[in-house]
Amino acid sequence: MTDARELNEREQQILQAVVNSYITTADPVGSRSVVKRFELGLSPATVRNVMADLEEMGYLQQIHTSSGRIPTDAGYRYYVNYLMHVQELTLRERNRIEHEFTEKLNDADEVLQHTSQLLALISNQAGLAESPGDDHAYVNRIEVMSVSTHRVVMLIVDNYGRVRTQTVNLDEAVHPEQLQALSRFLNDHLYRVRLDGLAGAIENQLKNFLDERRKTAELALRLLGLAPQQTRKQLFLEGAGHLFAQPEFQGVDRAKEVFDLFEERTVLTEVLRNALADERRVNASIHIGRIGDNFGLEDISVVASPYYCKDEPIGMIGVLGPRRMPYSRLTSIVDFTAGMVSRMLTRLAR
Protein backbone atom coordinates (compact mmCIF):
# COMPACT_ATOMS: atom_id res chain seq x y z
CA MET A 1 0.00 0.00 0.00
CA THR A 2 2.34 2.69 -1.28
CA ASP A 3 0.10 5.68 -1.77
CA ALA A 4 -3.58 6.52 -1.88
CA ARG A 5 -3.70 8.09 -5.32
CA GLU A 6 -6.99 8.08 -7.12
CA LEU A 7 -7.83 5.09 -9.22
CA ASN A 8 -8.19 5.65 -12.95
CA GLU A 9 -11.23 4.39 -14.75
CA ARG A 10 -9.80 1.08 -15.80
CA GLU A 11 -8.58 0.30 -12.33
CA GLN A 12 -11.99 1.10 -10.97
CA GLN A 13 -13.64 -1.15 -13.53
CA ILE A 14 -11.42 -4.03 -12.64
CA LEU A 15 -11.70 -3.57 -8.90
CA GLN A 16 -15.44 -3.52 -9.30
CA ALA A 17 -15.33 -6.63 -11.44
CA VAL A 18 -13.28 -8.47 -8.87
CA VAL A 19 -15.55 -7.48 -6.00
CA ASN A 20 -18.70 -8.35 -7.90
CA SER A 21 -17.36 -11.65 -8.99
CA TYR A 22 -16.07 -12.56 -5.56
CA ILE A 23 -19.30 -11.57 -3.89
CA THR A 24 -21.31 -13.96 -5.97
CA THR A 25 -18.98 -16.92 -6.24
CA ALA A 26 -16.78 -16.76 -3.14
CA ASP A 27 -13.88 -17.96 -5.31
CA PRO A 28 -10.69 -15.96 -5.77
CA VAL A 29 -10.97 -14.31 -9.16
CA GLY A 30 -8.30 -14.49 -11.84
CA SER A 31 -7.50 -12.28 -14.79
CA ARG A 32 -8.97 -14.59 -17.38
CA SER A 33 -12.31 -14.96 -15.68
CA VAL A 34 -12.56 -11.19 -15.35
CA VAL A 35 -12.27 -10.57 -19.08
CA LYS A 36 -14.68 -13.40 -19.78
CA ARG A 37 -17.39 -12.36 -17.36
CA PHE A 38 -17.21 -8.63 -17.93
CA GLU A 39 -16.14 -8.26 -21.57
CA LEU A 40 -13.82 -5.34 -21.02
CA GLY A 41 -12.17 -5.71 -24.42
CA LEU A 42 -8.83 -6.28 -22.79
CA SER A 43 -6.51 -9.21 -22.67
CA PRO A 44 -5.91 -11.16 -19.50
CA ALA A 45 -2.33 -9.92 -19.45
CA THR A 46 -3.41 -6.30 -19.22
CA VAL A 47 -5.85 -7.15 -16.50
CA ARG A 48 -3.06 -8.90 -14.67
CA ASN A 49 -0.94 -5.78 -14.76
CA VAL A 50 -3.76 -3.67 -13.37
CA MET A 51 -4.50 -6.23 -10.70
CA ALA A 52 -0.88 -6.19 -9.67
CA ASP A 53 -1.14 -2.41 -9.29
CA LEU A 54 -4.31 -2.73 -7.26
CA GLU A 55 -2.62 -5.24 -5.03
CA GLU A 56 0.29 -2.88 -4.51
CA MET A 57 -2.14 -0.17 -3.50
CA GLY A 58 -3.74 -2.47 -0.97
CA TYR A 59 -7.13 -3.02 -2.54
CA LEU A 60 -6.63 -6.63 -3.50
CA GLN A 61 -4.77 -9.53 -2.03
CA GLN A 62 -3.69 -13.00 -3.00
CA ILE A 63 -4.28 -15.88 -0.70
CA HIS A 64 -1.13 -17.45 -2.15
CA THR A 65 0.94 -16.95 -5.28
CA SER A 66 -0.94 -18.13 -8.29
CA SER A 67 -4.42 -17.98 -6.98
CA GLY A 68 -6.82 -15.30 -8.06
CA ARG A 69 -7.24 -12.10 -6.10
CA ILE A 70 -9.78 -11.30 -3.44
CA PRO A 71 -10.65 -7.84 -2.13
CA THR A 72 -9.07 -6.54 1.06
CA ASP A 73 -11.00 -4.50 3.63
CA ALA A 74 -9.76 -1.40 1.83
CA GLY A 75 -10.93 -2.87 -1.46
CA TYR A 76 -14.42 -3.41 -0.15
CA ARG A 77 -14.35 0.03 1.38
CA TYR A 78 -13.42 1.67 -1.92
CA TYR A 79 -16.07 -0.36 -3.68
CA VAL A 80 -18.72 0.61 -1.17
CA ASN A 81 -17.80 4.27 -1.13
CA TYR A 82 -17.20 5.01 -4.80
CA LEU A 83 -18.01 2.11 -7.06
CA MET A 84 -21.18 0.47 -5.90
CA HIS A 85 -24.38 1.66 -7.48
CA VAL A 86 -27.10 1.12 -4.96
CA GLN A 87 -29.51 -1.42 -6.24
CA GLU A 88 -32.97 0.05 -5.75
CA LEU A 89 -35.63 -2.24 -4.41
CA THR A 90 -38.28 -3.30 -6.84
CA LEU A 91 -41.81 -2.16 -6.22
CA ARG A 92 -42.65 -5.73 -5.37
CA GLU A 93 -39.99 -5.84 -2.68
CA ARG A 94 -41.03 -2.53 -1.22
CA ASN A 95 -44.60 -3.69 -1.07
CA ARG A 96 -43.53 -6.84 0.64
CA ILE A 97 -41.74 -4.96 3.38
CA GLU A 98 -44.51 -2.46 3.81
CA HIS A 99 -46.97 -5.27 4.05
CA GLU A 100 -44.99 -6.83 6.87
CA PHE A 101 -45.46 -3.71 8.92
CA THR A 102 -49.22 -3.65 8.62
CA GLU A 103 -49.30 -6.46 11.13
CA LYS A 104 -50.53 -5.58 14.57
CA LEU A 105 -47.50 -4.38 16.49
CA ASN A 106 -48.31 -2.91 19.85
CA ASP A 107 -45.04 -1.55 21.11
CA ALA A 108 -41.52 -0.71 20.06
CA ASP A 109 -40.09 -4.04 21.16
CA GLU A 110 -42.56 -5.92 19.02
CA VAL A 111 -41.75 -3.67 16.09
CA LEU A 112 -38.03 -4.22 16.43
CA GLN A 113 -38.20 -7.90 17.05
CA HIS A 114 -40.31 -8.23 13.98
CA THR A 115 -37.84 -6.07 12.11
CA SER A 116 -34.91 -8.32 12.92
CA GLN A 117 -36.87 -11.33 11.72
CA LEU A 118 -37.86 -9.55 8.56
CA LEU A 119 -34.34 -8.42 7.79
CA ALA A 120 -33.02 -11.92 8.29
CA LEU A 121 -35.64 -13.33 6.00
CA ILE A 122 -35.27 -11.04 3.04
CA SER A 123 -31.52 -10.51 3.26
CA ASN A 124 -30.59 -14.09 3.97
CA GLN A 125 -28.18 -12.81 6.57
CA ALA A 126 -28.55 -12.38 10.30
CA GLY A 127 -30.91 -9.54 11.19
CA LEU A 128 -30.13 -7.11 13.99
CA ALA A 129 -32.36 -4.59 15.69
CA GLU A 130 -31.67 -2.55 18.77
CA SER A 131 -34.64 -1.54 20.85
CA PRO A 132 -34.82 2.00 22.22
CA GLY A 133 -32.65 2.36 25.30
CA ASP A 134 -33.52 4.04 28.54
CA ASP A 135 -31.75 7.14 27.32
CA HIS A 136 -34.38 7.62 24.64
CA ALA A 137 -37.50 6.49 26.42
CA TYR A 138 -39.83 8.47 28.66
CA VAL A 139 -42.32 7.55 31.32
CA ASN A 140 -45.86 7.71 30.10
CA ARG A 141 -47.51 6.13 33.06
CA ILE A 142 -46.23 4.61 36.24
CA GLU A 143 -48.09 2.54 38.74
CA VAL A 144 -47.29 0.72 41.94
CA MET A 145 -49.23 -2.08 43.53
CA SER A 146 -48.60 -4.67 46.16
CA VAL A 147 -48.71 -8.32 45.27
CA SER A 148 -48.15 -9.65 48.73
CA THR A 149 -47.44 -8.16 52.12
CA HIS A 150 -43.78 -7.44 51.53
CA ARG A 151 -43.71 -7.42 47.79
CA VAL A 152 -44.48 -4.60 45.42
CA VAL A 153 -44.73 -4.40 41.65
CA MET A 154 -43.84 -1.24 39.82
CA LEU A 155 -45.27 -1.00 36.35
CA ILE A 156 -43.84 1.52 33.95
CA VAL A 157 -45.31 2.29 30.56
CA ASP A 158 -43.03 4.25 28.28
CA ASN A 159 -43.69 6.46 25.30
CA TYR A 160 -43.16 3.54 22.93
CA GLY A 161 -46.00 1.62 24.50
CA ARG A 162 -43.70 -0.83 26.22
CA VAL A 163 -44.77 -2.10 29.60
CA ARG A 164 -42.04 -2.93 32.04
CA THR A 165 -42.61 -4.46 35.42
CA GLN A 166 -40.18 -4.57 38.28
CA THR A 167 -40.82 -6.45 41.45
CA VAL A 168 -39.30 -5.25 44.66
CA ASN A 169 -39.08 -7.03 47.97
CA LEU A 170 -39.39 -4.78 51.00
CA ASP A 171 -38.34 -5.39 54.55
CA GLU A 172 -41.50 -4.01 56.02
CA ALA A 173 -45.14 -4.12 55.01
CA VAL A 174 -46.62 -1.21 53.08
CA HIS A 175 -50.10 0.11 53.62
CA PRO A 176 -52.47 0.38 50.67
CA GLU A 177 -52.96 4.09 51.32
CA GLN A 178 -49.24 4.58 51.19
CA LEU A 179 -49.16 2.87 47.84
CA GLN A 180 -51.98 4.96 46.48
CA ALA A 181 -50.17 8.08 47.53
CA LEU A 182 -47.03 6.72 46.01
CA SER A 183 -48.67 6.02 42.66
CA ARG A 184 -50.09 9.54 42.53
CA PHE A 185 -46.76 10.98 43.51
CA LEU A 186 -44.85 9.06 40.88
CA ASN A 187 -47.23 9.98 38.11
CA ASP A 188 -47.12 13.61 39.12
CA HIS A 189 -43.36 13.86 39.20
CA LEU A 190 -42.09 11.36 36.68
CA TYR A 191 -44.38 11.95 33.73
CA ARG A 192 -42.23 12.45 30.64
CA VAL A 193 -39.04 11.89 32.59
CA ARG A 194 -36.37 9.85 30.89
CA LEU A 195 -36.23 6.23 32.02
CA ASP A 196 -32.60 6.43 32.96
CA GLY A 197 -33.16 9.43 35.19
CA LEU A 198 -36.06 8.46 37.41
CA ALA A 199 -34.21 8.45 40.69
CA GLY A 200 -32.36 11.61 39.76
CA ALA A 201 -35.58 13.47 38.98
CA ILE A 202 -36.90 12.81 42.45
CA GLU A 203 -33.65 13.48 44.23
CA ASN A 204 -33.47 16.88 42.62
CA GLN A 205 -36.75 17.93 44.09
CA LEU A 206 -36.33 16.22 47.41
CA LYS A 207 -35.58 19.36 49.37
CA ASN A 208 -38.84 20.94 48.25
CA PHE A 209 -40.93 18.26 49.89
CA LEU A 210 -42.15 18.39 53.43
CA ASP A 211 -43.62 15.92 55.88
CA GLU A 212 -45.77 13.26 54.29
CA ARG A 213 -44.75 14.18 50.79
CA ARG A 214 -41.18 13.81 51.81
CA LYS A 215 -41.87 10.39 53.25
CA THR A 216 -43.52 9.35 50.01
CA ALA A 217 -40.60 10.67 48.02
CA GLU A 218 -38.18 8.73 50.13
CA LEU A 219 -40.20 5.56 49.72
CA ALA A 220 -40.17 6.16 45.98
CA LEU A 221 -36.41 6.50 46.01
CA ARG A 222 -36.06 3.30 47.97
CA LEU A 223 -38.19 1.46 45.45
CA LEU A 224 -36.30 2.79 42.50
CA GLY A 225 -33.05 1.96 44.17
CA LEU A 226 -34.06 -1.62 44.90
CA ALA A 227 -35.47 -2.31 41.46
CA PRO A 228 -33.00 -4.23 39.36
CA GLN A 229 -31.51 -1.94 36.75
CA GLN A 230 -32.52 -3.63 33.58
CA THR A 231 -31.15 -0.73 31.64
CA ARG A 232 -29.27 -2.95 29.19
CA LYS A 233 -30.33 -2.05 25.72
CA GLN A 234 -31.99 -5.00 24.16
CA LEU A 235 -30.65 -6.35 20.90
CA PHE A 236 -32.83 -8.57 18.78
CA LEU A 237 -30.93 -11.00 16.64
CA GLU A 238 -32.59 -13.35 14.26
CA GLY A 239 -31.59 -15.76 11.51
CA ALA A 240 -28.16 -16.54 12.87
CA GLY A 241 -28.42 -19.87 11.15
CA HIS A 242 -27.98 -18.21 7.77
CA LEU A 243 -24.38 -17.50 8.59
CA PHE A 244 -23.53 -21.14 9.00
CA ALA A 245 -24.62 -21.76 5.45
CA GLN A 246 -21.90 -19.45 4.13
CA PRO A 247 -18.70 -21.14 2.98
CA GLU A 248 -16.50 -18.84 5.04
CA PHE A 249 -17.92 -20.22 8.26
CA GLN A 250 -17.70 -23.88 7.41
CA GLY A 251 -14.72 -24.68 9.59
CA VAL A 252 -15.68 -25.86 13.06
CA ASP A 253 -13.48 -23.29 14.72
CA ARG A 254 -15.05 -20.52 12.67
CA ALA A 255 -18.52 -21.75 13.46
CA LYS A 256 -17.65 -21.74 17.12
CA GLU A 257 -16.44 -18.16 16.90
CA VAL A 258 -19.66 -17.06 15.28
CA PHE A 259 -21.58 -18.88 17.95
CA ASP A 260 -19.62 -17.15 20.69
CA LEU A 261 -20.12 -13.78 19.07
CA PHE A 262 -23.85 -14.23 19.15
CA GLU A 263 -23.73 -15.01 22.83
CA GLU A 264 -21.95 -11.75 23.46
CA ARG A 265 -24.65 -9.32 22.50
CA THR A 266 -22.95 -6.39 24.12
CA VAL A 267 -20.15 -6.56 21.59
CA LEU A 268 -22.63 -6.53 18.78
CA THR A 269 -24.37 -3.52 20.25
CA GLU A 270 -21.01 -1.84 20.41
CA VAL A 271 -20.36 -2.47 16.74
CA LEU A 272 -23.72 -1.13 15.77
CA ARG A 273 -23.06 1.97 17.83
CA ASN A 274 -19.67 2.54 16.23
CA ALA A 275 -21.06 1.99 12.78
CA LEU A 276 -22.77 5.33 13.21
CA ALA A 277 -19.46 7.10 13.46
CA ASP A 278 -18.12 5.55 10.27
CA GLU A 279 -17.76 7.51 7.12
CA ARG A 280 -20.79 6.93 5.00
CA ARG A 281 -21.84 7.59 1.50
CA VAL A 282 -25.35 6.30 1.45
CA ASN A 283 -27.69 6.39 4.35
CA ALA A 284 -26.68 3.01 5.65
CA SER A 285 -23.29 2.79 7.25
CA ILE A 286 -21.16 -0.22 6.64
CA HIS A 287 -18.72 -1.91 8.93
CA ILE A 288 -16.23 -4.16 7.20
CA GLY A 289 -14.08 -6.86 8.77
CA ARG A 290 -12.99 -7.81 12.27
CA ILE A 291 -15.38 -7.15 15.10
CA GLY A 292 -14.07 -6.17 18.48
CA ASP A 293 -10.57 -7.04 19.56
CA ASN A 294 -11.26 -10.30 21.29
CA PHE A 295 -12.89 -12.19 18.49
CA GLY A 296 -10.89 -13.97 15.85
CA LEU A 297 -13.54 -13.18 13.33
CA GLU A 298 -12.17 -11.06 10.53
CA ASP A 299 -14.78 -12.09 8.14
CA ILE A 300 -17.79 -10.23 9.37
CA SER A 301 -19.49 -7.19 7.92
CA VAL A 302 -22.43 -5.22 9.17
CA VAL A 303 -24.73 -2.97 7.20
CA ALA A 304 -26.64 -0.74 9.57
CA SER A 305 -28.94 2.22 9.45
CA PRO A 306 -30.36 4.39 12.20
CA TYR A 307 -34.05 4.71 12.85
CA TYR A 308 -35.71 7.81 14.17
CA CYS A 309 -38.63 8.82 16.28
CA LYS A 310 -39.85 12.30 15.50
CA ASP A 311 -36.58 13.10 13.73
CA GLU A 312 -34.49 12.10 16.69
CA PRO A 313 -32.14 9.15 16.13
CA ILE A 314 -33.01 6.35 18.54
CA GLY A 315 -31.18 3.22 17.59
CA MET A 316 -29.85 1.07 14.79
CA ILE A 317 -31.07 -1.81 12.72
CA GLY A 318 -29.04 -3.81 10.27
CA VAL A 319 -27.83 -7.08 8.92
CA LEU A 320 -24.73 -9.04 9.73
CA GLY A 321 -23.03 -11.47 7.40
CA PRO A 322 -19.76 -12.49 5.83
CA ARG A 323 -17.52 -9.74 4.57
CA ARG A 324 -18.33 -10.96 1.10
CA MET A 325 -21.91 -9.76 1.08
CA PRO A 326 -24.12 -8.06 -1.51
CA TYR A 327 -23.77 -4.56 -0.13
CA SER A 328 -25.58 -2.87 -2.99
CA ARG A 329 -28.75 -4.76 -2.26
CA LEU A 330 -28.44 -4.77 1.48
CA THR A 331 -28.03 -1.03 1.86
CA SER A 332 -31.33 -0.53 0.07
CA ILE A 333 -33.06 -3.12 2.16
CA VAL A 334 -31.72 -1.77 5.42
CA ASP A 335 -32.37 1.84 4.54
CA PHE A 336 -35.88 1.23 3.42
CA THR A 337 -36.67 -0.90 6.44
CA ALA A 338 -35.20 1.71 8.77
CA GLY A 339 -37.54 4.21 7.20
CA MET A 340 -40.48 1.97 7.91
CA VAL A 341 -39.41 1.46 11.49
CA SER A 342 -39.08 5.20 11.96
CA ARG A 343 -42.60 5.71 10.70
CA MET A 344 -44.00 2.98 12.91
CA LEU A 345 -42.27 4.31 15.98
CA THR A 346 -43.27 7.89 15.40
CA ARG A 347 -46.85 6.72 15.12
CA LEU A 348 -46.57 4.62 18.28
CA ALA A 349 -45.15 7.51 20.27
CA ARG A 350 -47.74 10.01 19.13
Partner DNA sequence: GTTAGCACTCACAATGGCTGAGTGCTAAAA
Partner DNA sequence: TTTTAGCACTCAGCCATTGTGAGTGCTAAC
Binding site for DNA (CB under 7 A): 10, 28-33, 41-46, 48-49, 51-52, 55, 62, 64-69
The span from the CA of 344 to the CA of 111, in Å, is: 8
Q: Which is nearer to its own copies, 66 or 169 (CB)?
A: 169
CB of 169 to its own copies, least distance (A): 7
In sign, the C-alpha dihedral spanning 79, 84, 86, 92 is negative
**Helix H or strand E encompassing 199:** helix 198-205
Q: Which is nearer to its own copies, 97 or 227 (CB)?
A: 227
In sign, the C-alpha dihedral spanning 249, 253, 255, 259 is negative
Choose from its own copies, DNA, none: what does 55 bind? Cβ within 5-8 Å by kind: DNA
Binding of its own copies by 24 (CB under 8 A): no
Residue 282 Cα to chain centre, angstroms: 16
Binding of its own copies by 230 (CB under 8 A): no
Choose from its own copies, DNA, none: what does 43 bind? Cβ within 5-8 Å by kind: DNA
CB of 336 to DNA, least distance (A): 36
Binding of its own copies by 294 (CB under 8 A): no
Which position among 252, 279, 293, 311 is part of the footprint of its own copies (CB under 8 A)? 252
Choose from its own copies, DNA, none: what does 251 bind? Cβ within 5-8 Å by kind: its own copies
**Helix H or strand E encompassing 348:** helix 327-348
CB of 272 to its own copies, least distance (A): 23
Q: Which is nearer to its own copies, 95 or 294 (CB)?
A: 294
The span from the CA of 13 to the CA of 323, in Å, is: 20
Phi-psi sector, 31: left (phi>0), alpha (psi -120 to 50), beta: alpha
The span from the CA of 124 to the CA of 338, in Å, is: 17
According to DSSP, the residues that pair with 301 across neighbouring strands are 288, 321
Q: Which is nearer to its own copies, 163 or 201 (CB)?
A: 163
Within 10 A of 142 (CB to CB), how many other CB atoms are there? 23
Which position among 55, 93, 107, 248 is part of the footprint of its own copies (CB under 8 A)? 107
Binding of its own copies by 246 (CB under 8 A): no
For residues 108 and 348, the answer to whether their CB atoms sit within 8 Å is: yes
CB of 259 to its own copies, least distance (A): 6
> Cα 244–247–253 angle (5° rounding)?
65
Applying CB under 8 A, the site for its own copies has a residue count of 29
The span from the CA of 282 to the CA of 56, in Å, is: 28
Choose from DNA, its own copies, none: what does 169 bind? Cβ within 5-8 Å by kind: its own copies
Q: Which is nearer to its own copies, 18 or 144 (CB)?
A: 144
CB of 273 to its own copies, least distance (A): 25
Binding of its own copies by 210 (CB under 8 A): no
For residues 130 and 235, the answer to whether their CB atoms sit within 8 Å is: yes
Q: Which is nearer to its own copies, 47 or 223 (CB)?
A: 223
Within 10 A of 58 (CB to CB), how many other CB atoms are there? 16
Choose from DNA, its own copies, none: what does 147 bind? Cβ within 5-8 Å by kind: its own copies
Binding of its own copies by 266 (CB under 8 A): no
Q: Where are the alpha helices (DSSP H) in 57-190?
A: 73-78, 91-100, 108-123, 176-190
Binding region for its own copies (CB under 8 A): 104, 106-107, 140-141, 143, 145, 147-148, 151, 153, 155, 157, 161, 163, 165, 167, 169, 240-241, 244, 250-252, 255-256, 259-260, 263
